[in-house]
């Protein structure tokens, strides 16, 4: 069997044209509708798959202290740092309690609906 008999672009185009001519008008409309449905579903998947990544770098800055600091200076700095840490923890707890109250409200609403 010779290779030129296996595939010919001219014969393929002619075959497709004959196939297209034998189709009814309503078949073309169904083809168009089915292509649109597939494109819309594909677009929905692509659109839904995009999301912003919440990136917050956790950078820890190291402070340089002189080697001849006194113990009193070190303790004073530790008290300042402790106050900052306690304020941050208190803020975190307030936010956590707020989120917990929001979810409890939703849970109570779902329980009232029997869910």
Domain residue extents for the chain? 8-48, 70-115
Residue 2 to residues 6, 8, 41, 112, Cα–Cα distance (Å): 7, 12, 44, 77
Rounded to two decimals, what is the model's pTM? 0.42
In the prediction, which pLDDT does 58 show? 85
The closest of 23, 20, 17, 1 to 9, measured between CA atoms, is 17
- Confidence at residue 7, expressed as pLDDT on a 0 to 100 scale: 77
Count the residues in the chain: 115
Give how far Cα 115 sits from Cα of 99, 101, 103, 108, 109, Å. Answer: 21, 19, 14, 10, 9
- What pLDDT digit, counting tens, does each position of 23-64 carry? 899 999 999 999 999 999 999 999 888 777 778 888 888 888
Q: What is the pLDDT of residue 2?
A: 57
């Amino acid at each position: 069997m010779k290779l030129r008999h296996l595939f010919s672009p001219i014969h393929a185009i002619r075959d497709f044209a004959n196939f297209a001519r034998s189709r009814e008008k309503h078949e073309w409309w169904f083809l168009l509708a089915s292509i649109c449905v597939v494109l819309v579903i594909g677009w929905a998947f692509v659109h839904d798959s995009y999301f912003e990544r919440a990136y917050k770098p956790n950078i820890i800055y190291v402070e340089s202290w002189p080697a001849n600091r006194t113990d009193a200076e070190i303790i004073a700095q530790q008290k300042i740092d402790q106050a900052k840490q306690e304020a941050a923890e208190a803020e975190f707890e307030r936010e956590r309690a707020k989120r917990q109250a929001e979810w409890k409200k939703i849970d109570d609403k779902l329980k009232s609906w029997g869910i």
